[in-house]
Chain A
């Protein structure tokens, strides 16, 4: 009988607790050894194969610095923050850490895992780096941005022409919604949606916060109201794919746009490289253009939101000086040129880089596309705060319920405020 109870206990222990058991020891890469006298610089990256900017940067840097051998530490994109956290907690010695977003950056920097690199930022030029403010922690910088993404409106020029409407210049949200309905057609069983609003909460919430000048960690979300009404109206009228369907089918926004199933699509600039590549590979022949995001106010100013990507030096880096040298190069003009060649938007601002960018093969060259590229104001997608991760979770869950129609906009927004106040802000 005793043995039985013990067996039950053992079974329960091994099966249930094993879940939370997370090993703290992370086997980082072994101490890099110079090959042919080269310095080996390790850089943490995500999805190395599918994120061509890394290879572009590394190849260009190695060509300019033949004594350096860069070795990527490739990590699954979805698990990137968790994996880096585990690595750092285990004393990993990877030299350069790529900061996928500013929320993770503030977490690592505030926990003392990153080296201060104010000198790197200064030598690149503070005024040249867009979104540098996001990395300012009490006047100190622990990372330097090398790319910046912001949201704009992709549109299908052929579908616009077929419907006989003008290019989407200076749209307000009402005009955008009306246009989307007008562009929605169904012929021979093939439905073309006027727009495609992807399921991410930022499509509604971050743009609303940016254009209302609000803080998403505040616990007050009444300003989401209009944006939700627009999103639900588009969905109800059939001008965009239904949220529930998009979610359960795991609809790819790329497919929606590249196969001409959507005439417009608000999306981040990272997708430019994606369209260019798809066109180059012959996977799509979409005739595309860029326009500024639709606006709340009709004052001709373009407000959007975005998120920078940065490089930082690990506190335990094996080669700190080499790492700083690499970051100075990558965040500067040379790095900017290397990544803009493949359609990635660099954080480094210069006319030369921008001109080179629009000369890319397959890039739209009209004035509207160029205008879309210089928004007047780019707010951060999510504020730099230790509360952001927890807030993000709550806002995501409630976004889900509003978009599938389980909760009314008013109730959903009220619930967001209530939950963020009690679960995140501890009020």
Chain B
């Protein structure tokens, strides 16, 4: 800034001053991000890079890592547990993402009105999201109890004789987990949709109404396109969180019965932290990373094409 007030200054000096200023700015910039960056470096980036390298090694954490090439990946591809966990992860994502999205949108539309006490309902829907996950899992486990749980009692009372065994049945355990996670997450995404809905100018609806559009047509041709940026964000966040689901499953079923709800992130934990096979578990985490990366890049690409 000071250099600009001296217009007669010779060009080289000015550029030197600018450079000095630029360096100063860079330095200030660095000091701002440094505290966070150090944490990111030490606890995320370096371990992540180490995990990349470890996936080609055998390491029990006591001795020095040993290079084994692709042996970890070969073992993984030959392992039942890996394929079962991969299938469970995908099933969970396929159930969790669309259900949460649809319910969040539905709730957002219901609650996007000026009614008395609407604040209460919005809070009520958001509440599960801020409730402790362990508490949620334990309570839902009780609700799902096969014999005397309220859910099955309800099913019995409406005439369903052989109600599912939920968390004690390998066919129904994953759906039970999905239901719980949808219930817990939908409040958060509802808030995102609510914000999106309120940003849609009412003129669009009025114009559509004047043109004779029905409620359904207004929803399909005004609401949905206007919500596209929100939807994109919701889909990406939901997909990523679905692929790395861990805590809810550990508390609710711990992967059981048998391996029917074991997901990839849990397998990584079991093999690595549980059994000390850090190389092998890094290999699995590399695969999980590639899956999440592919899906996310794909979503970004689709979004770009739509925007064009």
Contacts and interface: CB of A to CB of B under 8 A. Distances in A.
Contacts of B146: 242, 244-245, 248
Interface string A395-415: 001101100101100000000
Interface in B60-115: 60-63, 79-81
A82 B138 contact: no
B148 interface: yes
Contacts of A397: 255-259
Given A11-B236, A248-B145, A393 B274 contact: yes
A36 interface: no
A17 interface: yes
Identify the interface centre among A20, A23, A113, A419: most chain B CB within 10 Å of its CB. A20
B289 A244 contact: no
Interface stretch (B6-14, B163-171, B187-195, B219-227): B163-171
Contact of A401 (B258, B265, B292): B258
A5 B43 CA distance: 23
Given A244-B146, A248-B166, A11 B240 contact: yes
Contact of A8 (B60, B62, B293): B293
A406 B304 CA distance: 47
Contacts of A162: none
A382 to B, nearest CB: 14
A406 B258 contact: yes
Interface string A13-50: 11111111111100000000000000000000000000
Interface in A304-352: none
Contact of A22 (B258, B272, B299): B272
Interface stretch (A83-91, A130-138, A223-231, A270-278): A83-91
A77 interface: no
B155 to A, nearest CB: 15
Contact of A23 (B47, B269, B272, B275): B47
A1 B307 CA distance: 12
B285 A17 contact: yes
A423 B62 contact: no
Contact of A400 (B141, B258, B270, B286): B258
Identify the interface centre among B63, B168, B281: most chain A CB within 10 Å of its CB. B168
B37 interface: no
Interface string B141-168: 1101111110000000000000001111
Given A245-B147, A404-B169, A17 B289 contact: yes
B288 interface: yes
A121 B125 CA distance: 62
A215 B217 CA distance: 69
Interface in B263-295: 265, 268-270, 272-276, 278, 281-282, 284-286, 288-289, 291-293
A21 B265 CA distance: 12
Contacts of B256: 247, 397, 400
A390 interface: yes
B292 A16 contact: yes
A117 interface: no
B57 interface: no
A142 interface: no
Contacts of B272: 20, 22
Contact of A249 (B142, B236, B276): B142
B50 interface: yes
Given A4-B300, A12-B240, A406-B257, A248 B167 contact: yes
Interface string B208-246: 000000000000000000000000000010001101101
Given A17-B51, A404-B169, A249 B145 contact: yes
A15 B292 contact: yes
A88 B63 CA distance: 11
A407 B259 CA distance: 13
Contact of A17 (B48, B167, B296): B48
Contact of A404 (B147, B168, B243, B270): B168
Contacts of A17: 47-48, 51, 285-286, 288-289
A319 to B, nearest CB: 23
A16 B275 contact: no
Contacts of B258: 397-398, 400-401, 406-407
B297 interface: yes
Contacts of B282: 20
A9 interface: yes
B44 interface: yes
Nearest to A113: B62
Contacts of A20: 51, 268, 272, 281-282, 284-285
Nearest to A412: B258
A416 B2 CA distance: 79
A247 B173 CA distance: 13
22 contacts: A5-B300, A8-B293, A9-B293, A11-B236, A11-B240, A12-B296, A16-B292, A17-B51, A19-B246, A19-B269, A20-B268, A22-B278, A82-B273, A107-B276, A112-B62, A248-B167, A389-B275, A401-B257, A401-B258, A406-B169, A419-B80, A423-B81
Interface of B: 42-44, 47-48, 50-51, 60-63, 79-81, 138, 141-142, 144-149, 165-170, 236, 240-241, 243-244, 246, 255-259, 265, 268-270, 272-276, 278, 281-282, 284-286, 288-289, 291-293, 296-297, 299-300, 304
Interface of A: 1, 4-5, 7-9, 11-24, 82, 85-86, 88-89, 107, 111-113, 242-245, 247-250, 389-390, 393, 397-398, 400-401, 404, 406-407, 419, 423
Given A9-B296, A18-B48, A248-B145, 19 more contacts: A12-B289, A14-B44, A15-B240, A16-B293, A20-B282, A89-B61, A111-B60, A111-B62, A242-B146, A243-B168, A244-B165, A248-B167, A389-B274, A393-B274, A401-B170, A406-B169, A407-B258, A419-B80, A423-B80
Name the 8 nearest CB pairs between A and B, nearest first. Answer: A244-B168, A21-B47, A20-B285, A111-B62, A89-B61, A401-B258, A12-B293, A16-B292
